[in-house]
Structure 1
Amino acid sequence: MVKLIAMDMDGTFLGKEGVLPEGAIDEIKKLSDKGIVFVVASGRSLDSIEAMFEPVKDIMGIIAENGSIIKLFGKELQLKTLPQQHLGDIEEFLTEEIGYPVIKTQYREYMLPYSHDHFSEISHLARKLVRVERIGEVVEPVVSVAINVVNGTMPQVKTELEKRWGEHMRIIQSGHFWVDMISLGTTKGDSLEVIMQKLDINKEETMAFGDYDNDIEMLELAKFSYAMCHANQHVKDVAKFECESEQILDIIKQHC
Structure 2
Amino acid sequence: MRSYLEDDLSGVRLVASDMDYTLLADDKSMPEDMPGRIRALEGAGALFAAASGRPLYTLRDMFPDSWDHMAFVTDNGAAVVCREDVVFKSLIEPATVQALTEFTLEGGYGLPTVCGLDACYVREQDRRYDDVFRTFYHNIVYVETLDHLAAEVNKFTVYFPEGNAVPMRDEVYAPAWGEQLSVTCGGAVWIDIMNQGVDKGTGVERLCEHLGISVADVVACGDTDNDAEMLETVGHGYLVANAEERMERFADFRIPSNNERGVAQVIDAVLAARRA
The TM tier, using the shorter chain, reads over 0.9
Structure 1 residue 168: deviation in Å? 2.8
* Counterpart amino acid of residue 114 in structure 2: I
Structure 1 residue 155: deviation in Å? 4.6
Structure 1 residue 156: deviation in Å? 4.8
* Counterpart amino acid of residue 229 in structure 2: E
Distance in structure 2 (CA, Å) of the matches to 1:121 and 1:199:
35
Query: Deviation above 4 Å: which 4+ runs of structure 1?
Result: none
Distance in structure 2 (CA, Å) of the matches to 1:230 and 1:97:
32
Distance in structure 2 (CA, Å) of the matches to 1:16 and 1:179:
20
Structure 1 residue 236: deviation in Å? 1.7
* Counterpart amino acid of residue 240 in structure 2: M
- Aligned partner of 2:97 in structure 1 is 87
1:87–1:135 Cα contact (<8 Å) kept: no
Residue aligned with 1:201, SS: coil
Structure 1 residue 237: deviation in Å? 2.1
Structure 1 residue 255: deviation in Å? 2.4
Distance in structure 2 (CA, Å) of the matches to 1:105 and 1:204:
32
* Counterpart amino acid of residue 34 in structure 2: A
Q: Work out whether 1:123 is the aligned partner of 2:123.
A: no
Residue aligned with 2:72, SS: strand
Comparing 192-201 and 216-225, the one that deviates more: 216-225
Q: Structure 2 matches for 1:39-50, cutoff 5 A?
A: 39-50=49-60
* Counterpart amino acid of residue 193 in structure 2: M
Distance in structure 2 (CA, Å) of the matches to 1:91 and 1:186:
20
Structure 1 residue 137: deviation in Å? 5.5
Residue aligned with 1:208, SS: strand
Q: Normalising by structure 2, what TM-score?
A: 0.86
Of the three residues 266, 270, 273, the one matched with 1:251 is: 266
Q: Normalising by structure 1, what TM-score?
A: 0.93
Q: Work out whether 1:229 is the aligned partner of 2:254.
A: no
Instruction: State the identity as a percent.
Output: 24
Distance in structure 1 (CA, Å) of the matches to 2:59 and 2:163:
29
2:166–2:185 Cα contact (<8 Å) kept: no
Residue aligned with 1:54, SS: coil
Comparing 213-222 and 188-197, the one that deviates more: 213-222
In structure 1, stretches of 5+ residues that fail to align are: none
* Counterpart amino acid of residue 13 in structure 1: L
Q: Structure 2 matches for 1:5-154, cutoff 5 A?
A: 5-95=15-105, 97-136=108-147, 138-151=149-162, 153-154=164-165
Deviation sequence 1:91-142 (CA, Å, 0-9, x none): 2233495222221100111101331222222221122101011223521121
Q: Work out whether 1:173 is the aligned partner of 2:216.
A: no
Q: Work out whether 1:157 is the aligned partner of 2:165.
A: no
Higher relative contact order (CA 8 A, sep 6+): 2
Of the three residues 196, 205, 209, the one matched with 1:197 is: 209
C-alpha RMSD of the superposition: 1.8
In structure 2, stretches of 5+ residues that fail to align are: 1-10, 272-276
How many residues of Structure 1 are paired with residues of Structure 2 in the alignment?
256
1:189–1:217 Cα contact (<8 Å) kept: yes
Deviation sequence 1:54-92 (CA, Å, 0-9, x none): 221122111100000000121101111112112223222
Q: Work out whether 1:240 is the aligned partner of 2:255.
A: no
* Counterpart amino acid of residue 264 in structure 2: L
